[in-house]
């Protein structure tokens, strides 16, 4: 009985998938046209798309969008090959797996933009699986990494970024090895255009090199290291004052009790040192103090701007803890921090730092954009129209 039921279910499922695939292929009874960026069009069905995508549900609303009235949606994300895979998933729930990491990433970006969470998760899982299977050697991998860093954010896609970053640092020597004639590798060339990635990789490899230097046993094969024999450890992270504060904490759990303006720089330096020397308790305490002090500053420009520069220069991009805390206060005080006091004055300190650290500029711009959206949605308007996707 169970066997017959299972066979019947399998047969029914295959029949349903085949019928839905034919519906997509023929466009029969379609009531919506999707036009891709490369000009190809797909005749589709609103009910199927709108039930699975908030993007299409909004786009097909005739009261708010002309697309809903004209039954035509111009797609800006994803070429026709990616949209074809996306539609196949929506109609049949089948995921046409490829062995190309770039297709995985492009499909992820499209699923993220069109708000199709199951497909987004599936594409991310396939990307990770393909890298584990060795497809990081593919010529398409550097382009996939470039797409991840240019078209996703650490806030919405931390796992995808971490997957790519972990693969890069694990195989850094192979991926950045020059060609036979000395030409830079594809990944090395791509890194020149993405300072954020270059900084993250360099910082990780530097920390790893420092760790290996301090942990490498002598040639005689014993576990003893030079620092252990000489009772001297050369510290590379943290000033003498910061190390003194770290040792005070390790010995008696004491932490500097200063006013917020004076304490903030110590909070950051202790966080960085605690992270490097693997003192998680101090790292949590420093975070707590930073969170409390950053919102009580009496001179935001003098105290916060230099601290923000250190946070962005000396912590990994994937570590958003202090960045988000500092960024919130920077955005809240952006008018004072970015506008010169008079017309003849040059760029402010924050503006100069944003030029030197593009990632900070992007984060500030994103924060201000969100603030603008909040203000727009809160402003009373006549016949307000929802113009967001």
The phi, psi pair for 311, rounded to 5°, reads -60, -45
74 three-state secondary structure: strand
With CA atoms as reference, report the closest residue to 274 among 290, 265, 286, 263. 286
Cα–Cα distance for residue pair 179/187, rounded to 1 Å: 12
Cα–Cα distance for residue pair 67/90, rounded to 1 Å: 20
Distances (CA, A) of 342 to 41, 305, 332: 54, 20, 21
Domain locations along the chain? 235-290, 299-378
Structure pTM?
0.54
Q: Which residues pair with 74 in a beta bridge?
A: 35
* Secondary element (H or E) of residue 193: none
Per DSSP, the residues of 21-42 read HHHHHH-TT--EEEE-TTS-EE
Query: pLDDT 10s per residue in the chain (389 long)?
Result: 557 777 776 777 788 888 888 999 998 999 999 999 899 999 999 999 999 999 999 988 877 666 667 889 999 999 999 999 999 999 998 876 677 899 999 999 999 999 999 999 999 999 999 999 999 998 899 999 999 999 988 777 788 888 998 888 888 778 878 777 778 888 878 877 887 777 777 667 666 666 665 655 544 444 444 555 556 777 888 888 898 888 888 876 788 888 989 899 999 999 999 999 888 888 988 999 999 999 999 998 898 999 999 999 999 888 899 999 999 998 888 888 887 766 666 788 888 888 888 888 888 887 887 777 777 676 665 555 455 44
Q: Residue 223 gets which letter from DSSP? A: S
Give the neighbor-by-neighbor strand order of the sheet with 41-44.
41-44, 32-35, 72-74
End-to-end CA distance of the chain: give it in Å, rounded. 49
Q: Contact 145/164 with Cβ under 8 angstroms?
A: yes
Strand 32-35 versus strand 72-74 pairing type: parallel
Longest CA pairwise span in the chain (Å): 87
The phi, psi pair for 41, rounded to 5°, reads -115, 150
Cα–Cα distance for residue pair 198/48, rounded to 1 Å: 42
């Amino acid at each position: 009985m169970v066997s017959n039921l299972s066979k019947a279910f399998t047969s029914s499922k295959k029949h349903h998938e085949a019928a839905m695939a034919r519906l997509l292929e023929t466009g029969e009874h379609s009531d919506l046209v999707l036009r891709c960026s490369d000009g190809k069009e797909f005749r589709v069905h609103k009910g199927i798309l709108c039930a699975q995508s908030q993007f299409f549900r909004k786009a097909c609303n005739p009261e708010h969008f002309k697309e809903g009235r004209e039954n035509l949606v111009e797609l800006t994300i994803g070429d026709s090959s990616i949209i074809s895979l996306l539609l196949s998933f929506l109609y049949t729930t089948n995921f046409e797996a490829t062995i190309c990491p770039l297709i995985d990433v492009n499909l992820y970006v499209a699923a993220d933009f069109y708000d199709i969470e199951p497909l987004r998760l599936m594409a991310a899982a396939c990307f990770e699986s393909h890298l584990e299977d060795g497809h990081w050697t593919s010529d398409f991998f550097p382009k996939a990494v470039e797409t991840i860093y240019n078209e996703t954010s650490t806030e919405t896609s931390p796992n995808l970024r971490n997957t790519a970053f972990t693969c890069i640092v694990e195989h850094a020597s192979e991926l950045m090895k020059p060609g036979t004639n000395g030409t830079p590798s594809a990944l090395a060339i791509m890194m020149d255009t993405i300072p954020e990635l270059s900084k993250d990789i360099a910082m990780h490899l530097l920390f790893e090199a420092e760790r290996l230097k301090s942990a490498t046993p002598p040639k005689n094969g014993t576990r003893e290291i030079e620092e252990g024999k000489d009772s001297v450890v050369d510290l590379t992270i943290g000033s003498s004052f910061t190390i003194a504060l770290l040792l005070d904490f390790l010995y008696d759990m004491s932490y500097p009790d200063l006013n917020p303006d004076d304490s903030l720089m110590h909070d950051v330096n202790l966080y960085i040192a605690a992270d490097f020397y693997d003192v998680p308790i101090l790292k949590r305490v420093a975070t707590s103090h930073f969170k409390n002090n950053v919102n009580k500053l009496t001179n935001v420009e003098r105290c916060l701007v230099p601290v923000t520069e250190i946070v962005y220069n000396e912590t990994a991009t994937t570590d958003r803890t202090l960045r988000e805390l500092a960024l919130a206060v920077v955005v809240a005080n952006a008018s004072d921090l970015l506008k010169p006091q008079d017309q003849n004055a040059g760029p402010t300190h924050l503006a100069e730092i944003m030029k030197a650290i593009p990632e900070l500029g992007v984060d500030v711009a994103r924060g201000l954009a969100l603030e603008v959206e909040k203000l727009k949605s809160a402003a009373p308007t006549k016949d307000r129209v929802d113009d967001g996707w």
